[in-house]
Structure 1
Amino acid sequence: MPNLKAAWQKLDRAADIFWLPFIRILDETGNIFALIASAFTWLVRPPFRLSLILQSMDFIGIGSLGIVVLVASFTGAAFSLQTVYMFQMFQAEAFIGVTVAITLAKELSPVLTALMVTARAGSAIATELGSMRITEQIDALKTMAVSPIQYLVAPRIVAGIIMVPLLTMVFNLIGIFGATLVAVHVMGVDPGQYWHNIYWFIDAKDIIEGLIKAAVFGLAFSSISCYQGYYATGGAAGVGRATTRAVVWSSVMILFIDVVLTDILLIVNRPTM
Protein backbone atom coordinates (compact mmCIF):
# COMPACT_ATOMS: atom_id res chain seq x y z
CA MET A 1 0.00 0.00 0.00
CA PRO A 2 2.73 2.56 0.80
CA ASN A 3 4.29 1.90 -2.59
CA LEU A 4 0.92 2.31 -4.29
CA LYS A 5 0.30 5.56 -2.42
CA ALA A 6 3.74 6.93 -3.35
CA ALA A 7 3.20 5.98 -6.99
CA TRP A 8 -0.18 7.71 -6.98
CA GLN A 9 1.34 10.87 -5.50
CA LYS A 10 4.04 10.90 -8.19
CA LEU A 11 1.40 10.43 -10.87
CA ASP A 12 -0.65 13.27 -9.36
CA ARG A 13 2.36 15.60 -9.35
CA ALA A 14 3.20 14.67 -12.94
CA ALA A 15 -0.39 15.42 -13.97
CA ASP A 16 -0.17 18.81 -12.26
CA ILE A 17 3.04 19.62 -14.14
CA PHE A 18 1.37 19.10 -17.52
CA TRP A 19 -2.25 19.93 -16.70
CA LEU A 20 -1.99 23.14 -14.69
CA PRO A 21 -0.10 25.12 -17.38
CA PHE A 22 -2.74 24.07 -19.91
CA ILE A 23 -5.52 25.24 -17.58
CA ARG A 24 -3.68 28.52 -16.99
CA ILE A 25 -3.33 29.12 -20.73
CA LEU A 26 -7.04 28.48 -21.27
CA ASP A 27 -7.90 30.81 -18.38
CA GLU A 28 -5.73 33.64 -19.70
CA THR A 29 -7.07 33.13 -23.23
CA GLY A 30 -10.61 33.50 -21.93
CA ASN A 31 -9.65 36.62 -20.00
CA ILE A 32 -8.07 38.15 -23.11
CA PHE A 33 -11.23 37.53 -25.14
CA ALA A 34 -13.26 39.09 -22.32
CA LEU A 35 -10.98 42.14 -22.41
CA ILE A 36 -11.42 42.42 -26.19
CA ALA A 37 -15.21 42.19 -25.87
CA SER A 38 -15.20 44.84 -23.15
CA ALA A 39 -12.98 47.14 -25.24
CA PHE A 40 -15.26 46.95 -28.28
CA THR A 41 -18.30 47.47 -26.07
CA TRP A 42 -16.80 50.68 -24.70
CA LEU A 43 -15.95 51.88 -28.21
CA VAL A 44 -19.62 52.48 -29.00
CA ARG A 45 -20.32 54.30 -25.74
CA PRO A 46 -19.78 58.02 -25.27
CA PRO A 47 -17.51 59.81 -24.74
CA PHE A 48 -15.83 58.80 -27.99
CA ARG A 49 -12.09 59.18 -27.51
CA LEU A 50 -10.93 59.60 -31.11
CA SER A 51 -7.89 61.61 -30.08
CA LEU A 52 -6.61 58.69 -28.00
CA ILE A 53 -7.01 56.35 -30.96
CA LEU A 54 -5.05 58.76 -33.17
CA GLN A 55 -2.31 59.02 -30.54
CA SER A 56 -2.06 55.24 -30.36
CA MET A 57 -2.01 54.99 -34.17
CA ASP A 58 0.86 57.47 -34.23
CA PHE A 59 2.79 55.52 -31.60
CA ILE A 60 2.19 52.07 -33.09
CA GLY A 61 2.31 52.99 -36.77
CA ILE A 62 4.52 56.02 -37.32
CA GLY A 63 6.82 55.03 -34.49
CA SER A 64 7.37 51.57 -35.99
CA LEU A 65 7.79 52.77 -39.58
CA GLY A 66 11.58 52.98 -39.46
CA ILE A 67 12.20 49.45 -38.21
CA VAL A 68 9.61 48.06 -40.65
CA VAL A 69 11.30 49.76 -43.62
CA LEU A 70 14.72 48.52 -42.50
CA VAL A 71 13.59 44.92 -42.00
CA ALA A 72 11.59 44.94 -45.25
CA SER A 73 14.54 46.05 -47.35
CA PHE A 74 16.87 43.42 -45.91
CA THR A 75 14.22 40.69 -46.07
CA GLY A 76 13.37 41.38 -49.70
CA ALA A 77 17.03 41.49 -50.70
CA ALA A 78 17.98 38.30 -48.86
CA PHE A 79 14.94 36.36 -50.03
CA SER A 80 15.48 37.47 -53.62
CA LEU A 81 19.13 36.43 -53.48
CA GLN A 82 18.23 32.93 -52.30
CA THR A 83 15.41 32.63 -54.84
CA VAL A 84 17.62 33.65 -57.75
CA TYR A 85 20.25 31.05 -56.88
CA MET A 86 17.66 28.27 -56.49
CA PHE A 87 15.64 29.11 -59.61
CA GLN A 88 18.72 29.46 -61.80
CA MET A 89 19.53 25.83 -61.03
CA PHE A 90 16.28 24.84 -62.77
CA GLN A 91 16.28 27.54 -65.48
CA ALA A 92 13.16 29.04 -63.89
CA GLU A 93 14.27 32.67 -63.72
CA ALA A 94 10.94 33.77 -65.20
CA PHE A 95 9.18 32.98 -61.94
CA ILE A 96 11.57 34.73 -59.56
CA GLY A 97 9.60 37.97 -59.36
CA VAL A 98 6.18 36.44 -58.85
CA THR A 99 7.51 33.98 -56.25
CA VAL A 100 9.08 36.76 -54.23
CA ALA A 101 6.02 39.00 -54.54
CA ILE A 102 3.48 36.35 -53.53
CA THR A 103 5.60 35.14 -50.61
CA LEU A 104 6.02 38.68 -49.33
CA ALA A 105 2.37 39.62 -49.76
CA LYS A 106 0.84 36.50 -48.20
CA GLU A 107 3.38 35.44 -45.57
CA LEU A 108 6.56 37.35 -44.88
CA SER A 109 5.18 40.89 -44.84
CA PRO A 110 2.28 40.38 -42.38
CA VAL A 111 4.21 38.05 -40.07
CA LEU A 112 7.45 40.02 -39.88
CA THR A 113 5.62 43.34 -39.61
CA ALA A 114 3.56 42.04 -36.70
CA LEU A 115 6.65 40.64 -34.96
CA MET A 116 8.53 43.93 -35.34
CA VAL A 117 5.59 45.96 -34.06
CA THR A 118 5.19 43.54 -31.15
CA ALA A 119 8.84 43.88 -30.21
CA ARG A 120 8.68 47.66 -30.25
CA ALA A 121 5.12 48.78 -29.50
CA GLY A 122 3.79 45.69 -27.72
CA SER A 123 6.53 45.77 -25.12
CA ALA A 124 6.01 49.51 -24.59
CA ILE A 125 2.24 49.06 -24.16
CA ALA A 126 2.70 46.32 -21.56
CA THR A 127 5.31 48.36 -19.70
CA GLU A 128 3.22 51.54 -19.69
CA LEU A 129 0.01 49.87 -18.51
CA GLY A 130 1.92 47.74 -16.02
CA SER A 131 3.54 50.83 -14.51
CA MET A 132 0.14 52.53 -14.31
CA ARG A 133 -1.29 49.48 -12.54
CA ILE A 134 1.57 49.26 -10.04
CA THR A 135 1.45 52.99 -9.24
CA GLU A 136 -2.38 52.82 -8.87
CA GLN A 137 -3.04 55.24 -11.72
CA ILE A 138 -5.61 52.81 -13.14
CA ASP A 139 -7.42 52.80 -9.81
CA ALA A 140 -7.33 56.59 -9.84
CA LEU A 141 -9.12 56.61 -13.20
CA LYS A 142 -11.89 54.49 -11.70
CA THR A 143 -12.33 56.93 -8.82
CA MET A 144 -12.81 59.72 -11.39
CA ALA A 145 -15.58 57.69 -13.09
CA VAL A 146 -13.37 57.07 -16.15
CA SER A 147 -13.34 53.55 -17.57
CA PRO A 148 -9.72 52.33 -17.80
CA ILE A 149 -10.77 49.92 -20.55
CA GLN A 150 -12.22 52.74 -22.65
CA TYR A 151 -9.39 55.15 -21.88
CA LEU A 152 -6.35 52.86 -22.03
CA VAL A 153 -7.16 49.56 -23.73
CA ALA A 154 -9.71 50.21 -26.49
CA PRO A 155 -7.67 52.91 -28.34
CA ARG A 156 -4.59 50.68 -28.41
CA ILE A 157 -6.49 47.66 -29.72
CA VAL A 158 -8.16 49.70 -32.48
CA ALA A 159 -4.83 51.28 -33.41
CA GLY A 160 -3.20 47.85 -33.63
CA ILE A 161 -5.92 46.54 -35.95
CA ILE A 162 -5.59 49.58 -38.24
CA MET A 163 -1.85 50.18 -38.29
CA VAL A 164 -0.42 46.68 -38.72
CA PRO A 165 -2.13 46.25 -42.14
CA LEU A 166 -0.92 49.70 -43.20
CA LEU A 167 2.62 48.86 -42.14
CA THR A 168 2.29 45.56 -43.98
CA MET A 169 1.56 47.45 -47.20
CA VAL A 170 4.72 49.48 -46.63
CA PHE A 171 6.62 46.24 -46.02
CA ASN A 172 5.30 44.87 -49.32
CA LEU A 173 6.48 47.89 -51.30
CA ILE A 174 9.90 48.15 -49.68
CA GLY A 175 10.41 44.38 -49.75
CA ILE A 176 9.65 44.13 -53.46
CA PHE A 177 11.91 47.14 -54.12
CA GLY A 178 14.77 45.45 -52.25
CA ALA A 179 14.12 42.17 -54.03
CA THR A 180 14.08 43.88 -57.43
CA LEU A 181 17.29 45.73 -56.68
CA VAL A 182 19.11 42.47 -55.97
CA ALA A 183 17.49 40.31 -58.66
CA VAL A 184 17.64 42.78 -61.56
CA HIS A 185 20.56 45.07 -60.82
CA VAL A 186 22.87 42.67 -58.97
CA MET A 187 22.04 39.17 -60.25
CA GLY A 188 21.17 40.23 -63.80
CA VAL A 189 17.60 38.88 -64.03
CA ASP A 190 15.72 40.21 -67.06
CA PRO A 191 13.58 43.12 -65.78
CA GLY A 192 10.88 42.77 -68.42
CA GLN A 193 10.29 39.12 -67.62
CA TYR A 194 10.52 39.87 -63.90
CA TRP A 195 7.76 42.50 -63.90
CA HIS A 196 5.67 40.80 -66.58
CA ASN A 197 5.06 37.73 -64.43
CA ILE A 198 4.39 39.82 -61.32
CA TYR A 199 1.75 41.74 -63.28
CA TRP A 200 0.02 38.65 -64.66
CA PHE A 201 0.20 36.28 -61.70
CA ILE A 202 -0.39 38.54 -58.68
CA ASP A 203 -4.09 38.95 -57.83
CA ALA A 204 -5.72 41.43 -55.49
CA LYS A 205 -6.80 38.52 -53.31
CA ASP A 206 -3.14 37.68 -52.61
CA ILE A 207 -2.63 41.13 -51.12
CA ILE A 208 -5.99 41.07 -49.33
CA GLU A 209 -5.16 37.75 -47.68
CA GLY A 210 -1.99 39.27 -46.27
CA LEU A 211 -3.87 42.32 -45.00
CA ILE A 212 -6.50 40.12 -43.33
CA LYS A 213 -3.73 38.29 -41.52
CA ALA A 214 -2.13 41.58 -40.54
CA ALA A 215 -5.38 42.90 -39.03
CA VAL A 216 -5.79 39.74 -36.95
CA PHE A 217 -2.14 39.94 -35.88
CA GLY A 218 -2.73 43.55 -34.85
CA LEU A 219 -5.68 42.50 -32.71
CA ALA A 220 -3.65 39.67 -31.17
CA PHE A 221 -0.55 41.62 -30.20
CA SER A 222 -2.41 44.69 -28.94
CA SER A 223 -4.91 42.74 -26.83
CA ILE A 224 -2.25 40.45 -25.32
CA SER A 225 0.04 43.38 -24.55
CA CYS A 226 -2.81 45.36 -22.98
CA TYR A 227 -3.93 42.36 -20.95
CA GLN A 228 -0.47 41.60 -19.58
CA GLY A 229 0.16 45.22 -18.63
CA TYR A 230 -3.34 45.93 -17.31
CA TYR A 231 -3.25 43.00 -14.88
CA ALA A 232 0.43 43.25 -13.90
CA THR A 233 1.26 42.60 -10.24
CA GLY A 234 4.38 42.43 -8.10
CA GLY A 235 6.03 45.83 -8.35
CA ALA A 236 8.79 46.70 -10.80
CA ALA A 237 9.76 43.05 -11.24
CA GLY A 238 6.14 42.25 -12.07
CA VAL A 239 6.13 44.89 -14.80
CA GLY A 240 9.22 43.28 -16.30
CA ARG A 241 7.59 39.86 -16.23
CA ALA A 242 4.42 41.25 -17.80
CA THR A 243 6.43 42.84 -20.61
CA THR A 244 8.29 39.60 -21.27
CA ARG A 245 5.07 37.60 -21.33
CA ALA A 246 3.47 40.16 -23.65
CA VAL A 247 6.23 39.90 -26.25
CA VAL A 248 6.65 36.11 -26.00
CA TRP A 249 2.96 35.24 -26.07
CA SER A 250 2.18 37.77 -28.79
CA SER A 251 4.95 36.34 -30.98
CA VAL A 252 3.82 32.76 -30.39
CA MET A 253 0.18 33.63 -31.11
CA ILE A 254 1.11 35.50 -34.29
CA LEU A 255 2.85 32.40 -35.65
CA PHE A 256 0.04 30.10 -34.49
CA ILE A 257 -2.66 32.32 -36.01
CA ASP A 258 -0.65 32.51 -39.24
CA VAL A 259 -0.76 28.71 -39.60
CA VAL A 260 -4.50 28.60 -38.85
CA LEU A 261 -5.41 31.47 -41.19
CA THR A 262 -3.21 30.10 -43.97
CA ASP A 263 -5.02 26.77 -43.78
CA ILE A 264 -8.44 28.46 -43.73
CA LEU A 265 -7.64 30.77 -46.64
CA LEU A 266 -6.26 27.89 -48.70
CA ILE A 267 -9.48 25.95 -48.13
CA VAL A 268 -11.66 28.97 -48.97
CA ASN A 269 -9.72 29.77 -52.14
CA ARG A 270 -9.34 26.17 -53.27
CA PRO A 271 -10.39 25.97 -56.93
CA THR A 272 -13.48 23.88 -57.59
CA MET A 273 -13.12 20.98 -60.00
Structure 2
Amino acid sequence: MTLLTMFGRSYYSFVNYLGSLAMLLAEIIESLVRGKIRMRKVIAQVYEIGYSSQPVVIITGAFTGAVLAAQGLFQLQGLGMESMGGAMVSVGMLRELGPTLTGLMLAGRVGAAMSAEIGTMQVTEQIDALRSMSVHPVDFLVTPRLIAMMLSVPLLITESAAFGILASWVVGTQAFGVPEAWWEFRTSEHTDMSDIYIALVKGAVFGFLIVLISCNEGLKASRGAVGVGQGTTRAMVFSSLAILITNFFLTMLMNLVFPTGVAG
Protein backbone atom coordinates (compact mmCIF):
# COMPACT_ATOMS: atom_id res chain seq x y z
CA MET A 1 0.00 0.00 0.00
CA THR A 2 2.88 2.36 0.75
CA LEU A 3 4.32 1.77 -2.71
CA LEU A 4 0.93 2.34 -4.34
CA THR A 5 0.46 5.51 -2.32
CA MET A 6 3.84 6.85 -3.42
CA PHE A 7 3.09 5.99 -7.04
CA GLY A 8 -0.33 7.61 -6.83
CA ARG A 9 1.04 10.80 -5.33
CA SER A 10 3.79 11.00 -7.97
CA TYR A 11 1.29 10.41 -10.76
CA TYR A 12 -1.09 13.01 -9.34
CA SER A 13 1.73 15.56 -8.99
CA PHE A 14 2.86 14.93 -12.56
CA VAL A 15 -0.63 15.30 -14.02
CA ASN A 16 -1.23 18.41 -11.91
CA TYR A 17 2.05 19.91 -13.17
CA LEU A 18 1.12 19.21 -16.79
CA GLY A 19 -2.23 20.86 -16.14
CA SER A 20 -0.55 24.02 -14.83
CA LEU A 21 1.66 24.13 -17.93
CA ALA A 22 -1.40 23.68 -20.17
CA MET A 23 -3.22 26.53 -18.42
CA LEU A 24 -0.22 28.83 -18.84
CA LEU A 25 0.04 27.84 -22.50
CA ALA A 26 -3.63 28.71 -23.01
CA GLU A 27 -3.03 32.14 -21.47
CA ILE A 28 -0.01 32.69 -23.70
CA ILE A 29 -2.03 31.81 -26.81
CA GLU A 30 -4.80 34.14 -25.67
CA SER A 31 -2.25 36.91 -25.15
CA LEU A 32 -0.82 36.42 -28.64
CA VAL A 33 -4.29 36.37 -30.19
CA ARG A 34 -5.18 39.62 -28.43
CA GLY A 35 -2.03 41.10 -29.93
CA LYS A 36 -0.92 42.78 -26.71
CA ILE A 37 2.78 42.63 -27.49
CA ARG A 38 5.02 45.00 -25.54
CA MET A 39 7.89 45.68 -27.93
CA ARG A 40 10.09 47.41 -25.36
CA LYS A 41 9.92 44.34 -23.15
CA VAL A 42 10.61 42.09 -26.16
CA ILE A 43 13.69 44.10 -27.14
CA ALA A 44 14.99 44.07 -23.57
CA GLN A 45 14.55 40.31 -23.40
CA VAL A 46 16.22 39.80 -26.79
CA TYR A 47 19.25 41.58 -25.36
CA GLU A 48 19.17 39.52 -22.17
CA ILE A 49 18.44 36.16 -23.80
CA GLY A 50 20.22 36.51 -27.13
CA TYR A 51 23.03 39.04 -26.93
CA SER A 52 24.15 38.26 -23.39
CA SER A 53 24.11 34.50 -24.01
CA GLN A 54 26.48 34.61 -26.98
CA PRO A 55 29.78 34.09 -25.10
CA VAL A 56 28.69 30.93 -23.28
CA VAL A 57 27.01 29.52 -26.40
CA ILE A 58 30.00 30.22 -28.65
CA ILE A 59 32.51 28.75 -26.20
CA THR A 60 30.34 25.67 -25.66
CA GLY A 61 29.87 25.11 -29.39
CA ALA A 62 33.52 25.69 -30.28
CA PHE A 63 34.98 23.30 -27.72
CA THR A 64 32.30 20.69 -28.36
CA GLY A 65 33.18 20.73 -32.06
CA ALA A 66 36.88 20.57 -31.27
CA VAL A 67 36.50 17.62 -28.88
CA LEU A 68 34.16 15.79 -31.26
CA ALA A 69 36.62 16.25 -34.11
CA ALA A 70 39.59 15.09 -32.04
CA GLN A 71 37.84 12.02 -30.66
CA GLY A 72 36.41 11.13 -34.06
CA LEU A 73 39.74 11.50 -35.82
CA PHE A 74 41.48 9.26 -33.29
CA GLN A 75 39.06 6.54 -34.40
CA LEU A 76 38.93 7.40 -38.11
CA GLN A 77 42.72 7.39 -38.48
CA GLY A 78 42.78 3.63 -38.04
CA LEU A 79 40.29 3.27 -40.89
CA GLY A 80 42.00 5.72 -43.22
CA MET A 81 38.89 7.95 -43.27
CA GLU A 82 40.25 11.14 -41.69
CA SER A 83 38.56 13.30 -44.31
CA MET A 84 35.14 12.27 -42.95
CA GLY A 85 35.81 14.06 -39.67
CA GLY A 86 34.38 17.34 -40.94
CA ALA A 87 31.18 15.72 -42.16
CA MET A 88 30.76 13.92 -38.84
CA VAL A 89 31.12 17.13 -36.83
CA SER A 90 28.94 19.17 -39.18
CA VAL A 91 26.02 16.75 -39.10
CA GLY A 92 26.43 16.13 -35.39
CA MET A 93 26.53 19.81 -34.46
CA LEU A 94 23.53 20.73 -36.61
CA ARG A 95 21.28 17.76 -35.93
CA GLU A 96 22.08 17.06 -32.29
CA LEU A 97 24.76 18.82 -30.28
CA GLY A 98 24.19 22.40 -31.42
CA PRO A 99 20.48 22.61 -30.54
CA THR A 100 20.72 20.38 -27.45
CA LEU A 101 23.73 22.04 -25.83
CA THR A 102 22.42 25.51 -26.65
CA GLY A 103 19.10 24.55 -25.06
CA LEU A 104 20.81 23.23 -21.93
CA MET A 105 22.96 26.35 -21.63
CA LEU A 106 19.89 28.56 -21.97
CA ALA A 107 18.00 26.45 -19.43
CA GLY A 108 20.78 27.03 -16.92
CA ARG A 109 21.44 30.67 -17.67
CA VAL A 110 18.17 32.15 -18.97
CA GLY A 111 15.58 29.76 -17.56
CA ALA A 112 16.85 30.07 -14.02
CA ALA A 113 16.97 33.87 -14.32
CA MET A 114 13.39 33.98 -15.62
CA SER A 115 12.11 31.85 -12.78
CA ALA A 116 14.02 33.84 -10.15
CA GLU A 117 12.86 37.23 -11.47
CA ILE A 118 9.20 36.28 -11.82
CA GLY A 119 9.28 34.32 -8.56
CA THR A 120 10.62 37.34 -6.68
CA MET A 121 7.85 39.47 -8.14
CA GLN A 122 5.33 36.85 -7.09
CA VAL A 123 6.42 36.56 -3.44
CA THR A 124 6.74 40.35 -3.07
CA GLU A 125 3.19 40.79 -4.46
CA GLN A 126 4.33 42.80 -7.48
CA ILE A 127 2.30 40.51 -9.73
CA ASP A 128 -0.80 41.23 -7.64
CA ALA A 129 -0.04 44.92 -8.12
CA LEU A 130 0.03 44.38 -11.89
CA ARG A 131 -3.39 42.76 -11.73
CA SER A 132 -4.73 45.66 -9.66
CA MET A 133 -3.64 48.00 -12.47
CA SER A 134 -5.46 45.83 -15.06
CA VAL A 135 -2.17 44.52 -16.46
CA HIS A 136 -2.24 40.80 -17.17
CA PRO A 137 0.94 39.14 -15.82
CA VAL A 138 1.22 36.85 -18.85
CA ASP A 139 1.02 39.80 -21.25
CA PHE A 140 3.65 41.71 -19.29
CA LEU A 141 6.04 38.97 -18.18
CA VAL A 142 5.66 35.76 -20.18
CA THR A 143 4.72 36.67 -23.76
CA PRO A 144 7.67 39.08 -24.31
CA ARG A 145 10.06 36.41 -23.06
CA LEU A 146 8.56 33.80 -25.37
CA ILE A 147 8.80 36.07 -28.43
CA ALA A 148 12.37 37.06 -27.53
CA MET A 149 13.34 33.40 -27.11
CA MET A 150 11.88 32.48 -30.51
CA LEU A 151 13.85 35.31 -32.11
CA SER A 152 17.12 34.58 -30.30
CA VAL A 153 17.37 30.78 -30.36
CA PRO A 154 17.89 30.38 -34.15
CA LEU A 155 20.80 32.82 -34.07
CA LEU A 156 22.35 31.23 -31.00
CA ILE A 157 22.11 27.75 -32.51
CA THR A 158 23.64 29.03 -35.75
CA GLU A 159 26.56 30.52 -33.81
CA SER A 160 27.06 27.38 -31.74
CA ALA A 161 27.08 25.09 -34.78
CA ALA A 162 29.21 27.46 -36.89
CA PHE A 163 31.92 27.84 -34.25
CA GLY A 164 31.84 24.10 -33.59
CA ILE A 165 32.38 23.36 -37.27
CA LEU A 166 35.11 26.01 -37.49
CA ALA A 167 36.89 24.62 -34.41
CA SER A 168 36.71 21.11 -35.88
CA TRP A 169 38.31 22.43 -39.09
CA VAL A 170 41.20 23.88 -37.08
CA VAL A 171 41.70 20.62 -35.17
CA GLY A 172 41.38 18.42 -38.25
CA THR A 173 43.53 20.38 -40.67
CA GLN A 174 46.09 21.89 -38.32
CA ALA A 175 46.48 19.36 -35.51
CA PHE A 176 45.84 16.14 -37.44
CA GLY A 177 47.12 17.27 -40.84
CA VAL A 178 44.03 16.38 -42.89
CA PRO A 179 44.18 18.17 -46.27
CA GLU A 180 41.94 21.22 -46.22
CA ALA A 181 40.43 20.49 -49.63
CA TRP A 182 39.33 17.00 -48.62
CA TRP A 183 38.00 18.18 -45.26
CA GLU A 184 35.92 20.96 -46.82
CA PHE A 185 34.71 18.75 -49.68
CA ARG A 186 33.46 16.01 -47.36
CA THR A 187 31.84 18.56 -45.06
CA SER A 188 29.90 20.26 -47.84
CA GLU A 189 29.04 16.92 -49.47
CA HIS A 190 27.32 15.53 -46.36
CA THR A 191 25.73 18.73 -45.06
CA ASP A 192 22.54 20.12 -46.58
CA MET A 193 19.49 22.20 -45.74
CA SER A 194 17.76 19.33 -43.99
CA ASP A 195 20.38 19.50 -41.23
CA ILE A 196 19.70 23.20 -40.76
CA TYR A 197 15.93 22.62 -40.71
CA ILE A 198 16.31 20.07 -37.93
CA ALA A 199 18.52 22.41 -35.89
CA LEU A 200 16.04 25.27 -36.15
CA VAL A 201 12.99 23.13 -35.36
CA LYS A 202 14.67 21.62 -32.32
CA GLY A 203 15.85 25.02 -31.16
CA ALA A 204 12.34 26.49 -31.40
CA VAL A 205 10.86 23.60 -29.40
CA PHE A 206 13.58 23.75 -26.75
CA GLY A 207 13.23 27.51 -26.38
CA PHE A 208 9.48 27.20 -25.99
CA LEU A 209 9.88 24.55 -23.28
CA ILE A 210 12.37 26.70 -21.36
CA VAL A 211 10.07 29.72 -21.29
CA LEU A 212 6.94 27.71 -20.46
CA ILE A 213 8.52 25.74 -17.60
CA SER A 214 10.60 28.59 -16.15
CA CYS A 215 7.80 31.15 -16.16
CA ASN A 216 5.38 28.61 -14.70
CA GLU A 217 7.78 27.95 -11.83
CA GLY A 218 8.16 31.67 -11.22
CA LEU A 219 4.42 32.30 -11.19
CA LYS A 220 3.89 29.46 -8.70
CA ALA A 221 6.59 30.64 -6.28
CA SER A 222 5.62 31.02 -2.63
CA ARG A 223 7.13 30.99 0.87
CA GLY A 224 9.53 33.86 0.26
CA ALA A 225 13.18 33.43 -0.66
CA VAL A 226 13.09 29.68 -0.02
CA GLY A 227 10.28 29.22 -2.52
CA VAL A 228 12.06 31.36 -5.11
CA GLY A 229 15.23 29.28 -4.74
CA GLN A 230 13.32 26.02 -5.03
CA GLY A 231 11.43 27.27 -8.07
CA THR A 232 14.66 28.35 -9.74
CA THR A 233 16.18 24.92 -9.17
CA ARG A 234 13.09 23.15 -10.48
CA ALA A 235 12.99 25.42 -13.54
CA MET A 236 16.56 24.53 -14.49
CA VAL A 237 16.21 20.80 -13.77
CA PHE A 238 12.78 20.35 -15.36
CA SER A 239 13.76 22.38 -18.44
CA SER A 240 16.92 20.33 -18.92
CA LEU A 241 15.06 17.04 -18.53
CA ALA A 242 12.33 18.21 -20.89
CA ILE A 243 14.96 19.13 -23.50
CA LEU A 244 16.73 15.76 -23.26
CA ILE A 245 13.52 13.73 -23.39
CA THR A 246 11.97 15.80 -26.17
CA ASN A 247 15.21 15.64 -28.15
CA PHE A 248 14.93 11.85 -28.44
CA PHE A 249 11.44 11.96 -29.90
CA LEU A 250 12.28 14.90 -32.17
CA THR A 251 15.35 13.02 -33.43
CA MET A 252 13.27 9.97 -34.30
CA LEU A 253 10.62 12.08 -36.01
CA MET A 254 12.86 14.53 -37.84
CA ASN A 255 15.14 11.82 -39.22
CA LEU A 256 12.10 10.20 -40.79
CA VAL A 257 11.13 13.52 -42.38
CA PHE A 258 14.69 14.58 -43.26
CA PRO A 259 16.91 11.50 -43.64
CA THR A 260 20.65 12.10 -43.33
CA GLY A 261 22.25 13.06 -46.60
CA VAL A 262 18.99 13.85 -48.40
CA ALA A 263 18.75 17.41 -49.60
CA GLY A 264 15.98 19.55 -48.18
Which TM bucket (shorter chain)?
over 0.9
User: Structure 2: which amino acid aligns with 1:206?
Assistant: D
Structure 1 counterpart of 2:182: 193
Larger radius of gyration: 1
* Mapped pair 1:160 → 2:160: no
Aligned with residue 74 of structure 1, among 63, 79, 83: 63
Task: Report the aligned-residue RMSD.
Answer: 1.5
> C-alpha displacement at 1:171, in angstroms?
0.4
Runs of at least 5 residues in structure 2 that lack an aligned partner in the other structure:
none
Structure 1 counterpart of 2:118: 129
Structure 1 counterpart of 2:49: 60
> C-alpha displacement at 1:44, in angstroms?
3.0
> C-alpha displacement at 1:19, in angstroms?
2.3
Structure 1 segment 178-189 matched on structure 2, within 5 A: 178-189=167-178
* Mapped pair 1:110 → 2:110: no
Structure 2 counterpart of 1:245: 234
Aligned with residue 224 of structure 2, among 205, 222, 235: 235
Normalising by structure 2, we get a TM-score of 0.95
What SS does the corresponding residue of 1:178 show, helix, strand or coil? helix
- Whole-angstrom CA distance in 1 between matches of 2:113 and 2:173: 39
- Whole-angstrom CA distance in 1 between matches of 2:22 and 2:112: 20
Bigger shift: residues 158-167 or 111-120: 158-167
- Whole-angstrom CA distance in 2 between matches of 1:23 and 1:166: 39
**8 Å Cα contact 2:36-2:139 kept in structure 1:** no
- Whole-angstrom CA distance in 2 between matches of 1:32 and 1:219: 12
- Whole-angstrom CA distance in 1 between matches of 2:244 and 2:36: 36
Residue-by-residue CA offset, 1:48-72 (whole Å, 9 max, x unaligned) = 3122111111111111111111111
Structure 2 counterpart of 1:84: 73
Residue-by-residue CA offset, 1:68-110 (whole Å, 9 max, x unaligned) = 1111111111111001101111111121111110000000000
> C-alpha displacement at 1:270, in angstroms?
5.1
Structure 1 counterpart of 2:16: 27
What SS does the corresponding residue of 1:202 show, helix, strand or coil? coil
User: Structure 2: which amino acid aligns with 1:159?
Assistant: A
> C-alpha displacement at 1:231, in angstroms?
1.0
Aligned residues: 261
Runs of at least 5 residues in structure 1 that lack an aligned partner in the other structure:
1-10
* Mapped pair 1:98 → 2:87: yes
Classify 1:244/1:182 alpha carbon distance in 2 versus 1 (closer, same or farther; 3 Å): same
Residue-by-residue CA offset, 1:117-166 (whole Å, 9 max, x unaligned) = 11111111000000000000000000000000100011112222221221
**8 Å Cα contact 2:50-2:153 kept in structure 1:** yes
* Mapped pair 1:202 → 2:191: yes
Identity %: 34
- Whole-angstrom CA distance in 1 between matches of 2:190 and 2:140: 45
Structure 2 counterpart of 1:223: 212
- Whole-angstrom CA distance in 1 between matches of 2:257 and 2:196: 15
> C-alpha displacement at 1:42, in angstroms?
0.7
* Mapped pair 1:170 → 2:159: yes
